[in-house]
Amino acid sequence: MNYTKKILITGGAGFIGSCLVRHLVAKYPNYLIVNADKLTYAGNLANLESIKDASNYRFVKADICDAAAMQQIFTEYSIDHVIHTAAESHVDRSISNPMEFVQTNVVGTVKLLNICKSAWQDDAAHLFYHISTDEVYGSLGETGKFTETTPYDPRSPYSSSKASSDHFVRAYHETYGLPTVISNCSNNYGPFHFPEKLIPLCINNILHEKPLPVYGKGDNIRDWLFVQDHVEAIDLIFHQGKTGSTYNIGGDNEWKNIDLVRALCKIMDRKLGRAIGSSEKLITFVKDRAGHDQRYAIDFTKLNSELGWKPKAQFEEGLEETVQWYLDHQNWVEQVISGEYKKYYEAQYTTR
């Protein structure tokens, strides 16, 4: 088969990466999709069950920090495009172990950029697409939104590592002319979300009648976007985005954490046939996250006016669908929360 593009997706066994891989493999049979993932605690091959035998899909277990292994993938598959989603993604883990974030998010990204720079010396079409976060812009007060020109002000080890990798991507574009594009997205939610994150953690704890740990007063605000909407924005930017550009992606959907947790309680009470209000009793205010960013909000005017993207999912429907997915996939949850995650959960919450 003569594939028209040979795309390396890094981190394609994670939450967003696997949604992207499933989407691209199904939608573009003329593209070869090569998924390289280290399979950390957050990477799970069960997320890729639906496409694992597709003829245009390959999986390679590899660490992006292992330059020889990555070079081997480039050579074997003649990779001409990269969508880089691999990262350590959890803010709380970055607070207890920043070095792992420097290693994968910064060093791993620069190693990949080096491979692209030396592999792509011909005149063929190439692109290094870096998937990033709105957290690089820091924390907002009550008003305003992040635009693509908001100065970087990362405040956690996680967001600092992502900001650093964004800077390296831009530097490789400016210095070496590497064709790059970056998008910075707000909080995603949906199926296959690792249960260390707020929404799946609460769904799982409500189901098992365990405390719902809300940091601080629960008044921090996040902008939530359904993961499939993020993936469709990535698809659009990958194909039509301007090289060297940055695009913000958001849901126009701000929620205080406490209101979101209450909304989840209501949905779960109804679905589980429990008395309305019973799950809310599980809400427990715990010690705040160190350096907790107060509010994120995204202005995605550029993506809307240049490429016509806007989110499709209604939040209430997306949340219902997500809750139902977790109820229907308890085997998946049990599998991913066994082992390493159990120890993490105890260390993170038992004495909080």
- Distance separating alpha carbons of residues 69 and 279, to the nearest angstrom: 48
Judged by CB, which is closer to ligand DAU: 28, or 152?
A: 152
Contact 83, 55 (CB under 8 A): no
- Minimum CB separation from ligand DAU for residue 22, in Å? 19
Q: What letter represents residue 163's amino acid?
A: A
Query: Which residue numbers are catalytic?
Result: 134-135, 158
Contact 326, 200 (CB under 8 A): yes
CA angle 38, 16, 58 (to 5 degrees): 50
For the sheet with 221-226, list strands across it.
187-189, 221-226, 254-256
84 binds ligand DAU (CB under 6 A): no
- Minimum CB separation from ligand NAD for residue 274, in Å? 29
Judged by CB, which is closer to ligand DAU: 32, or 231?
A: 231
46 binds ligand NAD (CB under 6 A): no
Out of 7, 17, 81, 200, point to the residue binding ligand NAD (CB under 6 A): 17
Judged by CB, which is closer to ligand NAD: 272, or 333?
A: 333
Judged by CB, which is closer to ligand DAU: 215, or 326?
A: 215
| Antiparallel, parallel or unpaired: β 187-189 and 81-84 | unpaired
The dihedral built from the CA positions of residue 116, 117, 119 and 125, taken in this order, carries a sign that is: positive
Positions touching ligand DAU (CB under 6 A) are 89-91, 133-135, 186-187, 197-198, 201, 213-215, 220, 222, 257, 289, 296
Positions touching ligand NAD (CB under 6 A) are 10-11, 13-17, 37-40, 42-43, 63-65, 85-89, 104, 108, 131, 133, 162, 185, 187-188, 194
